[in-house]
Amino acid sequence: MAKADRLERLDARRIDLEADYTTALIEALRVTAAGKWGLFDHKADRATRAATAPVIDALADLGDAIDSAREQLFMEPFALQQEFLAARGPVSSDAVGEPKQAQAWLARLAGSAVKT
8 Å CB contact between 108 and 49: no
How many Å apart are CA 59 and CA 36, to the nearest integer? 17
Ranges 24-33, 44-53, 65-74: which has the least confidence:
44-53
Whether 9 shows a pLDDT value over 80: the answer reads yes
Indicate the domain borders of the chain: 2-115
pLDDT of residue 116: 47
8 Å CB contact between 107 and 31: no
For 75-115, how does the pLDDT look when each residue is reduced to its tens digit (9 = 90+)? 999 999 999 999 999 998 889 999 999 999 999 999 886 55
8 Å CB contact between 13 and 69: yes
DSSP 62: H
For 36-52, how does the pLDDT look when each residue is reduced to its tens digit (9 = 90+)? 999 999 987 899 999 99
How many Å apart are CA 116 and CA 114, to the nearest integer? 6
